[in-house]
Amino acid sequence: MNCPKCGFDQLPEGARFCPNCGRSLERQTRVEIRQEVEQNLGRVIGVQTGAIHGDVYGGDIFEVQVYALSDTGRIASWRRFLAEGTPPYKFLASYSAQDRLLFKARDTEIKQVVRQVGEQRLVVVYGLAGVGKTSLLAAGVIPALIDSGALVVHIHDYHEPVKTIRAALAASAEQLPITLPDEPTFPVLVRAVVEATQGSLVLVFDQFERLLKPSVSDEQRGALIGGLAEAWQAVSPDFLRLIISIREDVLGQLGPWRAELPDLLQSPIQLTPLSRAQAQLAIEGPLTELDFPVSFVGGLVTEQLVPDLDELTPSLPGIQPPQLQIVCHWLYQEARERRPPHIDARLYNEAKGAAGIMARYLEDTLQSQPEPQRVLARQVLVTMASPGVGPWVPPEKLVVNGNGRSREKVLDVLEDLVEAELLVPRAVNSHREYGFASDGVAQEIRRLAGPELERRYQVEDELERVWSGWLAREALATRGQLRYLCEFGDHLAPRPVQALLLLRCAVARDEPAAPWLPWLRTDEARALIRQLEEPDASDLPKYASRSNLSYAASLLDLSTDQPPQKNAPFGPVAWSAASDPDPVTRQTAALASAAWDPYQAPTRLDWALRSAEKGWRRRSRRAELRGTLGDADSEIAKANEDLPLLDRFLTWWWRARRRIFRDRHRLAALTLGGAVGAG
């Protein structure tokens, strides 16, 4: 018996694999999982093939993709879409429609979704993050639908969906010629596509939870839902179907939109993690489908690998697809270099099993970089996986001055991580943003970060507790809360009004104000303070909402007396710093004024003091405000040296008394210790 691949003629009787090249010899028991789609699409109508001049794969994979098959495309093999050398496992990337032959173990779920698309206009698929919803739709459901004649548009981004859908269709104009309006509304765009193709259009809204993110405005959200509702009414049910995938934890937030989209929560389909039988198919199927040279030997898959994968997440039922892909990809890459290319118990045990591979794969990627880049790469990844950070992050959000993160260094590290397939980039308005290559990457970063990232989530919760406490009963953060946020909250990005609250808390608790000022020096925070100080300015950027303006005014006590002069060279914030009877309010207002404009703040405060106080009281108040600013900002402390001698002395004395008061407990302990030692 000879090997059909390499011709090796010394095969032992009953051999399952060629010892020379590793080819599987069990042709008669080969796992056959080729998807045969049930042609039960109800009223879904196939696109008229005369309207298609070629197979359509248009658009940006991270924004919108368009899928349709021509006459010949529907009967041709899907192997033509696989590039030569395509690995059997996706590692950290999601599957695409081109990977249909490699996507295994979800036959039942694919048929269920396809059947339901034929039975109702809107189908919701939900499940845990990382369970494989995107891959199910991209490599399972979408190929089945376009095989059956549908035109499918796969949507991933929700800021400007109509614009990106139009751009993707325009990119496919050679294969799918459709006359598209320049700036269409959603229903107009849908009608144009349906009229041109005379077939069913299936819109797949993937990761729909992104529509609920704060980065998507209420106007954008309302425009999309309203546009879908209008298209729903304007287009016959035969020609429009919707599929929505969404994380399980936010499924309930779809409820308010049931009036606009009546079928929204009718029979939603839950996607669960892989069972052990499904995991076996997902592991063995890709290798046997395309006759990859690498093969598993013996009972490794069923006896060790699958049980170990199941034990990786004891708190969750089933096997998580990202972990399966990571482990199998690592084993495949290692076995390729061996002769014969077998994945056997020895290789698996040397890697310390699935748990060992999971623990080392990110470390291996990071260790391949020089020490400074490695540390920065870890910081960047952990920051991107932190709470409150959206799915797409601009480099500027990852730059922290004074922490070794310059923009150039961050950009270099981001590009290295893209090359390592941990991150993916996208272009937005001529600049780049970065996101994780898949939910699996984000999950592994969180796992690798361990207590560090868990603490970040706790810090985020602590900030929300401080904010809620002030809203409910005007409670201020304790010293313990402030120190906790200061020590572990370098990743936080509080709203400007929250940063102002933390500043007031620091002043009230006699804690240093300097850690909170950088959050008040962002463009948005400065715009907020300027709106309070110069409400009538003609060039005022309107960043803050009315509610946030009201909150900020309350924190600075701007609802009381206003400046006595209408055209005074200072505004309500400086006036509050000069005249408010509460020293906490005065000092908070002075610091807020300096955060907005550190160069003009002392002058504004001096003008306000001239109007508010006289004589010795004015000098005392000036010493308080200048001392507060000098403690928080070294540049203003230097500027204080230009004050007249008496004012300079009073400012120094105010700061000295404050230091003594702050350090009173430590000084008392040192004095007591000295007394005990002397006695």
β-bridge mates for residue 242, sequence order = 122, 203
Among the ranges given (267-276, 280-289, 669-678), the one the predictor scored with the smallest mean pLDDT: 669-678
* Mean per-residue pLDDT over the chain, rounded: 81
pLDDT one-digit tens code per residue, 135-172:
999 999 999 998 888 899 999 888 889 998 988 888 88
Nearest-CA neighbor of 631 among 526, 517, 528? 517
- Report pLDDT for 117: 92
| pLDDT at 309 exceeding the cut of 80 | yes
Among the ranges given (143-157, 240-254, 473-487, 565-579), the one the predictor scored with the smallest mean pLDDT: 565-579
Quick check: pTM over 0.85? no
| pLDDT at 364 exceeding the cut of 80 | no
Q: Which amino acid is at 45?
A: I
- Angle between the N-to-C axes of helices 186-197 and 218-234, in degrees from 0 to 180, rounded to the nearest 10: 40
Say whether 433 sits in a helix, a strand or coil: strand
Q: Which amino acid is at 260?
A: E
- Return the percentage of the chain with pLDDT > 70, whole number: 83
| Mean pLDDT value of segment 48-65 | 67
CATH number at 49-270: 3.40.50.300
Domain boundaries, the chain: 1-28, 49-270, 274-361, 368-449, 450-488, 493-664
Asked, as a colleague might, if the bond just before 340 is cis with ω within 30 of 0, I would say: yes
Size of the chain in residues: 679
pLDDT one-digit tens code per residue, 73-108:
766 777 777 777 788 998 877 888 888 899 999 999
Write down the residue that tokens 């845990």 correspond to: 128
- Report pLDDT for 31: 24
- Report pLDDT for 11: 53
- Return the percentage of the chain with pLDDT > 90, whole number: 23
368-449 has CATH 3.30.499.10 classification: no
pLDDT one-digit tens code per residue, 500-550:
999 999 999 988 888 888 888 888 888 889 888 888 777 766 656 677 888
- Report pLDDT for 22: 45
Task: For residue 295, give the DSSP letter.
Answer: E
Residue 437 banded pLDDT, cuts 50, 70, 90: low
Token digits of residue 257: 């939109």
Write down the residue that tokens 């290789």 correspond to: 347
- Report pLDDT for 24: 47
pLDDT one-digit tens code per residue, 177-223:
888 888 889 999 999 999 888 888 999 999 998 888 777 888 889 99
| pLDDT at 35 exceeding the cut of 60 | no
